[in-house]
Amino acid sequence: MPGQFEPLPGGGAAVALDAVEISIIRSLAVQLLELIGPGPAEDAQGDPLAELFADGPSEPPADPVLRRLFPDAYGDPGRAPASPREAEERRAYSAEFRRYTENDLRAGKRDNALAVIRSLDELASAGEGGAVLQLSAEESRKWLGALNDLRLAIGARLEIADEEDTDFLFRLPDEDPRKPMVMAYLWLGGLQETLVGTLMP
């Protein structure tokens, strides 16, 4: 799937997508939305301040994908704590930071995924088959955030710990059940890289 973003005059980006590509990206964005979940005040009886002042969770998510999307803010994951006291301090600082920031982070990720879905729905409603998606500069930034989150999510499922540790992806045999996820991961990476290029001055 060779789609590449190209810069538009005056800002923004465009990419040609066929019907299959549109369907794949939309499906992944919907799954991401479902994984992130609703906001904390979805059942707040229309109180606009409820979500603004709702405390977030203080514990890291159990799901490895959500842990990748919402990592702890304190401590070096590659370095073990020097003492039990340091480990406890890390947990306390991370819990406090998560409590006050995770709701906003989730809202931002939901907003980005929804922007992808809406723009693809508009594109699909414009006609049958493939089409050229045109994004404003703001929409491009939302797409970039969503593409990054999708790659983080797929990377977590593939147990990719480091971007430099992806050589094995190219060596997987076609019959490996992870192959479709690998193809999506690599394709989204290409889209992300070309979209970044359109945002560079």
**How far is the C-alpha of 23 from the C-alpha of 149, rounded, in Å?**
18
More confident residue, 55 or 32: 32
Q: Encoding tokens for residue 168?
A: 């094995």
Confidence class for position 1, pLDDT limits 50, 70, 90: very low
Residues 6 or more apart in contact with residue 136 via CB below 8 angstroms: 11, 12
Across 56-63, average pLDDT? 72
With 60 as the cut, is the pLDDT of residue 46 above it? Answer: no
Q: Is 135 helix (H, G, I), strand (E, B) or coil?
A: strand
Given this model, what pLDDT does residue 196 score? Answer: 95
With 80 as the cut, is the pLDDT of residue 8 above it? Answer: yes
pTM of the model: 0.82
Q: Encoding tokens for residue 81?
A: 């704590």
